[in-house]
Chains A and B, each alone.
Chain A
Amino acid sequence: MEIKVLGPGCKRCEQTEKIVREVVAESGKDAQIEKITDVMKIAGYGVLGTPAVVIDGEVKCVGKIPSAEEVKAWLEA
């Protein structure tokens, strides 16, 4: 599983990355988490608004900090 957290490095994006890392560690799933800060790469995913989370190429959320429950649900799916 490949998880990408998109955000140029603001508070909200850091918080999102932290939540994602915590949930993944808790679930024990084998997932690679990458933080993407380059604005051109972020735009390449077509997201308008950060933080955003992309799992296996699929955009999961845009422009808000996801809750731990939401992240858990994405991992299970």
Chain B
Amino acid sequence: MKERNKLLLIVGVFLAAYFIPWGHPLIRQSGLEAFMMLQEYARQHVLTCLIPAFFIAGAISVFVSQASVLKYFGAQARKVLSYSVASVSGSVLAVCSCTVLPLFAGIYTRGAGIGPATAFLYSGPAINVLAITLTAKVLGWQMGLARAVGAILFAIITGLLMALIFRKDDAARTAGQIYVPDATSDQRTLVQDSLYLLTMVLILVFAAFARPAAGSTGLWPTIFALKWYITAVLLSILAWMIKSWFRKDERVAWVDSTWGFMKQIFPLLIGGVLVAGFLLGRPGHPALIPEEWVQSLLGGNSLWANLFASVAGALMYFATLTEIPILQGLIGAGMGKGPALALLLAGPALSLPNMVVIGSVMGVKKTATFCGIIVIMSTIAGLLYGSFAG
């Protein structure tokens, strides 16, 4: 940080401390809501959802070979494969913007071209394990599923449309040598790797298993009653796998990478939860922003509400995962389910700062088209989801 920026920051904090009427009942109520929401996250979501998800993300980044995925982005790769791999590869490759943008630029200029590159650019931030699991945990599994399915479909459609609109430019790309990350050598089979990841996903599913509605019968209450036993059994299976299938350096790399994600993401998420709590409050508890405002702008499922949500989402910058507490606050204050999905689909993939970088890679016209396609599709998806989910 530059010295001048540090000074500006300190002056800003000072002015806020001096002039904000902290004694006003509304401000007190909002401040309390911020910490109540933080507690809700700490008690309900951190141990059973975020921690396992961090370990899964760490394992994916260390043990899934990037080279095996990236070969589908070469100039010679078959188009069908390029698009399908691009649309889901976000779950494997990208949790950090330092992978997404260079990879996008590389695929665009040297590799499979504008279609797969934009498909990857959209899917990268939108379908990582952390984002989908926390969405499902906090906002309900319907929203998590809609987000995952929507993100994959959007990636493919956006990529195809971009390739169609700009098909002339693609011919002028320079062909050249491309380098993909070095393959890591390991002695495990694909089956072992898959079982290992599957065990962790199951731990996540059972540990976070929601209490079924009172009075429901059948399988769900039984699973809920047994969930800690199942989790314990799965944990011991996982411990056995880790001990017998992995070398020491691999275990260290796994824990290191998990720790890296935690360091990077937890502070941002805590900040996001506090801001969301302060501005919007928990569901049923009003805070700084009056609920009537939210209801009039984003309530119901009108075309206007959906469009507003997707444009706002496209312009705003959400640090990893912070879109979730903010949406939780908005829904609690009266936002419709359709507009909520529209914001989730347009939000994490686009923001003003990353539009600038994308613009420097493929030019203003293509960037504007890319953003336009996403905003329009998010609005439509919001309208559809809103009319089903009510």
Contact = CB atoms under 8 A, between A and B. Distances in A.
A63 B70 CA distance: 11
Contacts of B178: 46-48
Contact of B105 (A7, A12, A40, A52): A40
Contact of A40 (B109, B179, B182): B109
A6 B106 CA distance: 13
Given A39-B101, A39-B102, A63-B181, A48 B107 contact: yes
B99 A49 contact: yes
A32 B193 CA distance: 42
Given A7-B98, A39-B360, A63 B182 contact: yes
B98 A42 contact: no
Given A62-B182, A63-B181, A64-B181, A43 B99 contact: no
A42 B99 CA distance: 12
A23 B118 CA distance: 38
A61 interface: yes
Contact of A43 (B70, B96, B105): B105
Interface in A24-61: 39-40, 42-50, 52, 59, 61
A7 B264 CA distance: 17
A48 B181 contact: yes
B178 to A, nearest CB: 4
The dominant DSSP class at the A interface is mixed
Contacts of B106: 42-43, 46-49
Contacts of B98: 7-13, 50
Contacts, number: 84
Contacts of A9: 98
Size class of the B contact interface (CB-based, 8 Å): 20 to 34
Contacts of A7: 98, 102
Contact of B182 (A42, A50, A61): A61
Given A46-B178, A48-B73, A49-B180, A39 B105 contact: yes
B70 A49 contact: yes
A11 B97 CA distance: 11
A49 B176 contact: no
A61 B357 CA distance: 25
Interface in B256-287: 260, 264
Nearest to B108: A43
A63 B177 CA distance: 16
B66 A49 contact: yes
A10 B260 contact: no
A50 B179 CA distance: 11
A43 B108 CA distance: 9
A56 to B, nearest CB: 15
A62 B98 CA distance: 13
Contacts of B181: 48-49, 62-64
Nearest to A12: B98
A40 B97 contact: no
B205 interface: no
Most chain A beta-carbon neighbours within 10 Å: one of B70, B108, B181, B264: B181
Interface string B96-130: 11110111111111110000000000000000000
Given A40-B360, A40-B361, A8 B101 contact: yes
A52 B104 CA distance: 15
B111 to A, nearest CB: 7
A48 B111 contact: yes
A64 to B, nearest CB: 6
A43 B109 contact: yes
A45 B177 CA distance: 8
12 contacts: A7-B102, A10-B96, A12-B98, A39-B104, A39-B360, A40-B105, A40-B360, A42-B102, A43-B108, A47-B102, A49-B106, A64-B181
Given A8-B98, A8-B102, A43-B106, 16 more contacts: A11-B264, A39-B361, A40-B109, A42-B106, A47-B102, A47-B106, A48-B73, A48-B106, A48-B178, A49-B66, A49-B180, A50-B99, A62-B180, A62-B182, A63-B66, A63-B180
**Complex A-B, nearest 9 residue pairs according to Cβ-Cβ distance, in ascending order:** A63-B181, A10-B98, A43-B105, A48-B106, A46-B178, A49-B181, A39-B105, A43-B106, A43-B109
Interface of B: 66, 70, 73, 96-99, 101-111, 176-182, 260, 264, 357, 360-361
